[in-house]
Amino acid sequence: MKQISFFFIAMLFSVSAMAQSKKAPKSYTDTFGRRVMVGNLTRSMLEQDTVHFGWFKENMRYGRPDAAAVESFKQKKNSFKILVVMGTWCKDSRSIIPALFRLVDKSEFPQNKIRLVGASEDKLNPSKLIAKYNITRVPTILILRKGKEWGRVEEYGNEGQIDKELGQIVARLPQ
């Protein structure tokens, strides 16, 4: 009986250690008093920290996603993933990221197919990811198919309607 109890306790510690091995994002306050988070983020981090990220919930209230983009996302949701590199310090990210999530919500795109990454103000961290995808502006939203970049929208894109531009990229994806 003692061996079984020891086994279960050891299992609990190993599962706990594995869960903690996922790197939490680094966080600091910049000279303007903004909370900067660098590394892997989640939507819930932005939603729950209303002291530092109240802009997320506030900006989710404004605007409606492009209907054609919603339809493209619905039809092709099994064909792609989304990688978002943003700055929690960045004014553009504060507007664009909620617009992206309005599109995601309306199209019922799976949240587990979105990777949200916070970049530092110098855009050097997380340096491997930024270098791999040659990211020079935030936010940058990449549409990935089979691990390869299919298209991207940087900052406000070409037309100022990121949802519409993302929908156009997704529409060109094969099923």
* Total count of residues recorded for the chain: 175
How would you class 11 by CB atoms within 10 Å of its CB: exposed for 0-12, middle for 13-18, buried for 19 or more?
A: exposed
How does pLDDT run across 95-107, given as a tens digit for each residue? 999 999 999 999 9
Q: Which H/E stretch holds residue 37? A: strand 35-41
How does pLDDT run across 50-60, given as a tens digit for each residue? 999 999 999 99
CA 168 to chain centre: 19
What pTM does this model have?
A: 0.85
Pair 73, 169: CB distance under 8 Å: no
Structural domains in the chain plus CATH codes: 24-171 (3.40.30.10)
- Which range is least confidently modeled, 28-42, 116-130, 137-151? 116-130
CA 148 to chain centre: 17
pLDDT class for 3, splitting at 50, 70, 90? low
